Structure 1
Amino acid sequence: MPSSSSAPQARSRPLLPLWLAMPVAALAGCLMDLAYPSVSAWILAFPAVALLLLTLIGRRIGGALLVGFIYGAVFFFLLVSWTSRYLGIIPWAALALLEAALTAVAVILITLAYRWLPRAFPGVTGRLVTLPAVVAALWVVRELFLGSWPYTGFPWARLGMTQSESPLAMLSSWVGVSGLSFLMVFVVAMLVESVRLRLWHRPVRLVVPAALVIVLLVTPAFPTTDAGTMRIGAVQGNGPTGYFDEREPYSVIQAQTDATEPLLGADMDLLVWPEGGVDGDPFANESLARRMTRVASRADAPLLANAATARGDEYFNTSMLWTQDGTAEQSHDKRFPVPFGEYVPDRDFYYAIVPELIGLIGREYSHGTNAPLIDVDGVKVGLAICFDVIYDEVINEGILGGAQVLVFQTNNADFRGTGENVQQLAFARMRAIETGRSVVNISTVGASQMIGPEGQTIAALNADEAGAMLESVELRSGLTAGVVLGPWLQLVMLWGGLGALLFGWWRARRRR
């Protein structure tokens, strides 16, 4: 076994020939999909990462592009198959192929790290610490890239989100979701290098990797402070809220009202309805406004509802706190409307390509700018509307604004019978753990849950059934390290990973 100062150099040839690397990359994509709900086999995320790294080690740029694209295509075609539920293969293929192409480009950085870093830092420490750290940082760079571009990005497939049912989920309260992604890849890359260096011949050198794994598994959630409780009712009306659902006038609000009946007369501080729980704009429709006022009065609690609203020439996806006296002075507009779902960027360009599909999206929602917060009798409630749950800045803005509990309103009716709703529910669970806050995740059609600050399920409603939940939900104050440090760690991983890669290139050239 070579000494630490003369550890083996990285192989100049790929670990796997291209004919084998391609099916291995496809297998990695399959395993990664299984790590997400609805299967939720979170442990499979680790072999998936390992297999992808093995296909990239020693690879030239062209080969890295190919195996990265195969991995991304298999993974995303499986993960977001729910996008074809109503609109068919075109939007599904467009999203999956775009994400696969972006993944293929981004993994080139990891291939270059495996080419340059072992030459720049050939010792055991360089191979077991420096190289895995840079590879893990570049994995997060890829996630940040896909999560912010094009348009507002698609941060749906972050590695850390696979761990919502895992003991490792608690780490997100210390380092955020991106930090959890980093730690997962770091451990896998370290184990890969341990095997490549044949460290089983020197078991003492495996103590540090083994100890790291144990520490990650037993780390508790970052503590937050008990701030009392709040009685929250949440109603899943199971009304006709899908884009193509046939509906009668006021059928959606009537379904919500009917499902609310069991809660009326109970002690309640806040009543929550899901995204799209009202048929139209209550600020412009007096009949809807009266119905909402009646519900709030009978519940003897303010109603947090959601509807499409108009202000001048703009439309917004708006959550409003409707009080018993018929006013709604507090509201929040969805920060990130879904491209090609709630608005069409560069509409003329895409209309020329697929006019039938683009023509279905008649209303253009604007991006909200107001804070994702409401105040209910002195208790601040953080908000996120539907897919906004996957954007860190929306969640962090609410927590930094003093939110003691989080409410996520969503409408999954367009994805009935798919895995979309359970994927989104898993993200909600991770947000509870990351922020140390209880979460009320309420859908029009389910599945809906109330989740405790450590990710435990407090109450649940089955999908495709009308129902209501009423619980005394824990309030928490104080900021977790994941909320405070998470954004800074992202910057460190972004610029540190890219900077270390460039430094490794420079140092490798000098050593050569």
Structure 2
Amino acid sequence: MPQPLLPLWAAVLTSVAGGFALDLAYPDVAWWPAAFVAVVLALISIIGRGVWGAVLVGFAFAAPFFLSNQVFTARYLGPVPWLALSLFEAAITAVLTVLIALAYRWLPRVLPGLWSRLIALPALVAGLWCVRELVVGTWPYGGYPWGRVGITQTNGPFAEAASWVGVTGLSFLVVAACAALIEYARAARFRDLRTAAPTAVVILLITAAPQFPTTDAGTLRVGSVQGNGPSGYFDGAPANAVLAAQLAATRPLYGQEMDVLLWPEGGLDSDPLNNSDTARTLDNVSERVDAPLIVNAATERDGLFFNTSILWKAGEGAVATYDKRHPVPFGEYVPDRWFYRLFAPDLIDLIQREYTPGTDAPLFDVDGVGVGLAICFDVIYDEVIWNGAREGAQVYMFQTNNADFRGTDENVQQLAFARMRAIETGRAVVNLSTVGTSQVIAPDGSVIDGLPVDEAGYMLTEVPLRTGLTPAVVMGDAVPIGIAAASLLSLAGLGLVLRTRRRAV
């Protein structure tokens, strides 16, 4: 068994530093090089560790990262949800760190050559790191794929690689580069420039590859309104106060030319599908701007509740709807309510409405233009975004409500996802919040227009349209599934070879 690079006490401290460094790579600081520092610190802590040592250093890395990165979840509900979510994700990460430790132990024994260490080992380690991200992002209750390494690169020179391999593929490349750099340093063959080639190749892949080009399809003139109304869960506002705020911020747009008017998630605090007064108000707004509306409300149909985006036209009403695919567990519904209520009944009982997941394609046809959709945290789920592009989205409109996270980094972290989605798909994104920050993002990830946080206002923007699918969208799940399957099968193969050798002896 190889000796650890660091004694256990030093590895734990190094892992803790790595966890905090990874958080620095996310907004509000958004220092993208910190992700490379974080991954290097995490990996040198794992090398040579046994099973329980790997669990310990994995937890020491993940706990400070999740606790600091997701502290916004404590904004209104207090420390219990924040601690539960962060520590649960840290526990999953810790257990799966054992796989990376096994890779460091097994591969050099089966393939002891220098080039195996410089090429195969970094690829396997990066793949198993992605396995950790994928498990956290899919399990339980649909997962929570928020803290992925790939997202840290939104502001950096490597973001364009996401258009080729997606967010998981970008995570793989970043971790592979870090792991290759470590092995290059461990080999201590600095005079032999050939040994630097694997590290250089990975870095070249994620820096030299330009964003995959999509095809110009004209523009769409979009009005978007940030009402800054009392839209938080605990705001205790009077009836239709949010609607009133949206109307007030919309009035300067009356009479101006536009192709569509967008309101944010929760921009309606009454259901226009069941409330005739709200329906008449939307008809009036649509007439005043002479354009269809894309609005959002909590709707009820057949006794079920949905978080619904609605395409509304004057005189026609709701011509299309899209229900949020991934309602937030313990935010928009409570899974296994009977069980969790045993531990925190007062907290669980705060969440009265149980949203049902939607099944429709995340796309509206707005007078011949395909508009891809994502409602709030849906933006972090890859398949929602890919599905929209495959169904014909030429532009994305993401509706969100960040009112429950005022004063935290949540809104700018979510904006980082929106910017990465623009790059990944080669399409512009209008990311509109009830309270901000709202932005219009170009297909290359640059910001075209914006509204600051906690201010009412509007944007009227010529938003570029694009057609054509990037490799990331075309390959879709094949990249993360391929990385995970190849990595797990390779690790299992290494274990089988070693077991066979032991039996032969």
Tell me which interval the TM-score lies in, with the shorter structure as reference length.
Answer: over 0.9
Candidates 444, 456, 459, aligned match of 1:469: 459
How far the C-alpha of 1:462 sits from its partner, in A, is: 0.2
Distance 1:328 1:191 in 2: 55
Aligned to 1:394: 384
- Amino acid aligned to 2:475: L
Q: Check whether the contact 2:173–2:202 (CA below 8 A) recurs between aligned residues.
A: no
Aligned to 2:90: 100
Aligned to 2:477: 487
Distance 2:364 2:201 in 1: 44
Deviation string 1:110-154 (CA, Å, 9 cap, x unpaired) is 000001011111112210111111111111111110000011100
Distance 2:72 2:205 in 1: 37
Candidates 317, 330, 341, aligned match of 1:340: 330
Question: Structure 1 215/497 Cα, relative in aligned 2: closer, same or farther at 3 Å?
Answer: closer
- Amino acid aligned to 1:236: Q
Deviation string 1:314-363 (CA, Å, 9 cap, x unpaired) is 10000000102141120100000000000000001111110010010000
Aligned to 2:278: 288
Aligned to 1:8: none
1:132 aligns with 2:133: no
Candidates 152, 156, 160, aligned match of 2:142: 152
SS in 2 for 1:147: helix
Distance 1:56 1:338 in 2: 33
Q: Check whether the contact 1:69–1:103 (CA below 8 A) recurs between aligned residues.
A: yes
Distance 1:390 1:423 in 2: 11
Deviation string 1:398-456 (CA, Å, 9 cap, x unpaired) is 10001000010000000000000000000000000000000000000000000000001
Aligned to 1:304: 294
SS in 2 for 1:266: coil
Q: Check whether the contact 2:119–2:198 (CA below 8 A) recurs between aligned residues.
A: no
Aligned to 1:412: 402
- Amino acid aligned to 1:472: E
Deviation string 1:351-403 (CA, Å, 9 cap, x unpaired) is 11100100100000001011111001111100000000000111111100010
How far the C-alpha of 1:212 sits from its partner, in A, is: 3.6
SS in 2 for 1:39: coil
Q: How many residues were matched structurally?
A: 502
TM-score normalized with structure 2 length: 0.98
- Amino acid aligned to 1:206: A
Distance 1:358 1:292 in 2: 34
1:359 aligns with 2:349: yes
How far the C-alpha of 1:490 sits from its partner, in A, is: 1.0
- Amino acid aligned to 1:433: I
Q: Check whether the contact 2:228–2:454 (CA below 8 A) recurs between aligned residues.
A: yes
How far the C-alpha of 1:218 sits from its partner, in A, is: 2.6
Distance 1:438 1:474 in 2: 6
Taking the TM superposition and a 5 Å limit, the aligned residue runs for 1:242-391 are 242-391=232-381
Distance 1:120 1:345 in 2: 45
Candidates 139, 150, 156, aligned match of 1:166: 156
SS in 1 for 2:342: helix
Distance 2:224 2:362 in 1: 18
Taking the TM superposition and a 5 Å limit, the aligned residue runs for 1:70-149 are 70-149=60-139
Candidates 14, 17, 27, aligned match of 1:27: 17
Distance 1:350 1:505 in 2: 39
1:428 aligns with 2:418: yes
Deviation string 1:142-183 (CA, Å, 9 cap, x unpaired) is 111000001110000111000111110000001111000000
Q: Check whether the contact 1:14–1:57 (CA below 8 A) recurs between aligned residues.
A: yes
Structure 1 gaps of 5+ residues are 1-10
Aligned to 1:205: 195
Deviation string 1:76-125 (CA, Å, 9 cap, x unpaired) is 00000001111111111000110010000111100000010111111122
- Amino acid aligned to 1:105: V
Distance 1:132 1:208 in 2: 9
Deviation string 1:485-512 (CA, Å, 9 cap, x unpaired) is 2411111111100001011122334566
Aligned to 1:44: 34
SS in 1 for 2:431: strand
Distance 1:215 1:333 in 2: 38
Q: Check whether the contact 1:28–1:52 (CA below 8 A) recurs between aligned residues.
A: yes
Identity %: 56
Q: Check whether the contact 1:412–1:421 (CA below 8 A) recurs between aligned residues.
A: yes
1:231 aligns with 2:221: yes
How far the C-alpha of 1:312 sits from its partner, in A, is: 1.6
SS in 2 for 1:455: coil
Q: Check whether the contact 1:335–1:368 (CA below 8 A) recurs between aligned residues.
A: yes
How far the C-alpha of 1:257 sits from its partner, in A, is: 0.8
How far the C-alpha of 1:211 sits from its partner, in A, is: 4.3
Distance 2:198 2:335 in 1: 49
SS in 2 for 1:155: coil
Question: Structure 1 417/133 Cα, relative in aligned 2: closer, same or farther at 3 Å?
Answer: same
Q: Check whether the contact 1:289–1:326 (CA below 8 A) recurs between aligned residues.
A: no
How far the C-alpha of 1:216 sits from its partner, in A, is: 2.1
Q: Check whether the contact 1:110–1:139 (CA below 8 A) recurs between aligned residues.
A: yes
SS in 1 for 2:341: helix
Q: Check whether the contact 2:230–2:237 (CA below 8 A) recurs between aligned residues.
A: yes
- Aligned CA RMSD, in angstroms, stands at 1.1
Distance 2:457 2:487 in 1: 48
